[in-house]
Structure 1
Amino acid sequence: MATQQQWLFPHWPGLPANVGVLSTTRRGGVSPAPYGDGMGAGGLNLGTHVGDQPHNVARNRSILRDMLPDDPAWLSQVHGTAVVNLAEVGPQQVPDADASFTAIPGKVCVIMTADCLPVLFADKEGKTVGAAHAGWRGLASGVLENTVAAMRAAGAGELMAWMGPAIGPYQFEVGPDVKQAFLQGALDDSDQRHVEAAFSLIDGKPGKYLTDIYGLARYLLHRAGVKEVHGGEFCTVSNSGRFYSYRRDGVTGRQATLIWLK
């Protein structure tokens, strides 16, 4: 049976009252190990592509659906930068995209993750909401900026954001290619300094860095004009009792981060 502890309700100051937000954890579902809750009980794996039995995923999605006004608008996430308007997506469509937005009450934007960064958006008037999947590739390529631009082009007002559970800065070990990908997107010396600050060389591991994906996302959002950015306090890798983590476990489930207009 689902419990209150399985849900993560974002602390998001200033969020309009007509906006609903929710993050799932690995708790409260029916999937067995390695998709379980990490403590011997069923896990709330929501991914259909990770090797879990389809009937388990269907049951888990049903448990989640009970918390929502409608079925989530699932995406086929490809670590890219495409953004879709849910007004243009049919009920059975699963578009290849890494972000979505909507101005339609009841439509649910959703991102699945297991270390990558989910970012939720809402305008301060409570007229438009969105969600983006920001793994390092998408983050470096502009998925957050594309989401902001698409929402503004569709009439969104001043945007605010919340960063959901992702791999933390003390766990995200990367090589020089990742750092270079972000440096290539630097527009000026200030950008370069902010990128450099997010990468710390690891003692005894030449060419290896610890990377602050939350810090990178926060800076890119600020650069795009999103001044109010909340969240960023979780680490999926470190908290095995609460979150799925691909970096930690390899074969594992997926949690979801969702937003909608009431």
Structure 2
Amino acid sequence: MRDFLTAPVLGEVPHGFSTRAGIDPQAVLPGAQLVLLRQVHSADVATVTEPFAGDPPAADALVTDVPGLLLGIVTADCGPVVFADQAAGVVAAAHAGWRGALGGVVENTIAAMEALGAQRERIRAAIGPTIAQESYEVDAGLRERFCDQAVENERFFVEGREGHYQLDLPGYIESRLALAGIEQHADLACDTYVDEARFCSYRRATHRGEPTGGRQTSVIGILP
């Protein structure tokens, strides 16, 4: 029995979104080498040809066309997004919190994939377990930052308690995918905050005064 979730939109491309149980990279892509980043909530992308020697770079997305590498990102409420152009043999994984998503990590990842030969119209993308709108309270200042970028971003916020709003982060990420021309995309619609049995949540742990180190890992690779 596998210990991870998959997205039908990605078909047979090796990928997985872990739960609290963790993920065995060999169960996703046997013989693969897992590659991770030092994530910093940026929109920066690293193109990978081999496992990093020494400390990994500071970035929030990985792209490769090398079979046998398994790209991984870790999240605990932010949006994990994995991408694939199976025909070109190019895959990517991105960490899309509100900062990265607003800053363009989705678009930068797609551009890096195209630099390796991917074609935008063939790229498929899936959003893994992410905090949902009903669980994600933000202040008016954050809403203003989104609306300053584009007035239509107002639709991703609904009013909550006084001076606060509920942000639809997965919906916003999907909108960036659609605007970038990625027609085949899907959201697993798993709320990390609410589903305590399956997922770690940084925000839930913070609210409870519990340790905040738990994470999910999302991975994608290319068959050798």
Alignment of 1:53-72 (within 5 A): 64-67=24-27, 68=29, 69-72=31-34
Alpha-carbon shift at residue 177 of structure 1 (Å)? 2.1
**In structure 2, what is the equivalent of residue 260 of structure 1?**
221
Q: Is the CA contact (8 Å cut-off) linking 1:16 and 1:126 kept in structure 2?
A: no
Q: Is the CA contact (8 Å cut-off) linking 1:116 and 1:134 kept in structure 2?
A: yes
Letter in 2 for 1:224: A
Change beyond 3 A, Cα 1:249–1:22: same
Task: Please give the TM-score of this superposition, normalised by the length of structure 1.
Answer: 0.77
Alpha-carbon shift at residue 126 of structure 1 (Å)? 5.0
Q: Is the CA contact (8 Å cut-off) linking 1:103 and 1:127 kept in structure 2?
A: yes
**In structure 2, what is the equivalent of residue 114 of structure 1?**
76
2:143 is the counterpart of 1:147:
no
**In structure 2, what is the equivalent of residue 239 of structure 1?**
195
Partner-residue secondary structure (3-state), 2:49: helix
2:167 is the counterpart of 1:184:
no
Q: Is the CA contact (8 Å cut-off) linking 1:105 and 1:261 kept in structure 2?
A: yes
Alignment of 1:177-256 (within 5 A): 177-186=141-150, 192-193=151-152, 195-202=153-160, 205-250=161-206, 251-252=211-212, 253-256=214-217
Partner-residue secondary structure (3-state), 2:80: strand
Letter in 1 for 2:135: Q
Q: Is the CA contact (8 Å cut-off) linking 1:83 and 1:99 kept in structure 2?
A: yes
Alpha-carbon shift at residue 165 of structure 1 (Å)? 0.3
Q: Is the CA contact (8 Å cut-off) linking 1:170 and 1:210 kept in structure 2?
A: yes
**In structure 2, what is the equivalent of residue 137 of structure 1?**
99
Percent of aligned pairs sharing the same letter: 37
| Distance in 1 of aligned mates of 2:133 and 2:112 | 29
Answer with 1 or 2: which has the greater Rg: 1
Q: Unaligned stretches of 5+ in structure 1?
A: 28-43, 45-62, 187-191
| Distance in 2 of aligned mates of 1:86 and 1:123 | 16
Task: Please give the TM-score of this superposition, normalised by the length of structure 2.
Answer: 0.89
Change beyond 3 A, Cα 1:65–1:228: closer
2:163 is the counterpart of 1:167:
no
Q: Is the CA contact (8 Å cut-off) linking 2:80 and 2:95 kept in structure 1?
A: yes
Alpha-carbon shift at residue 179 of structure 1 (Å)? 1.4
Letter in 2 for 1:64: D
| Distance in 1 of aligned mates of 2:124 and 2:171 | 16
| Distance in 1 of aligned mates of 2:46 and 2:158 | 35
Equivalent residue for 1:7, pick from 4, 7, 23:
4
Aligned-residue RMSD, C-alpha:
1.7
Letter in 2 for 1:102: T
Alignment of 1:49-88 (within 5 A): 64-67=24-27, 68=29, 69-87=31-49
| Distance in 2 of aligned mates of 1:20 and 1:173 | 34
Q: Unaligned stretches of 5+ in structure 2?
A: none
| Distance in 1 of aligned mates of 2:32 and 2:2 | 22
Partner-residue secondary structure (3-state), 1:125: coil
**In structure 2, what is the equivalent of residue 32 of structure 1?**
none
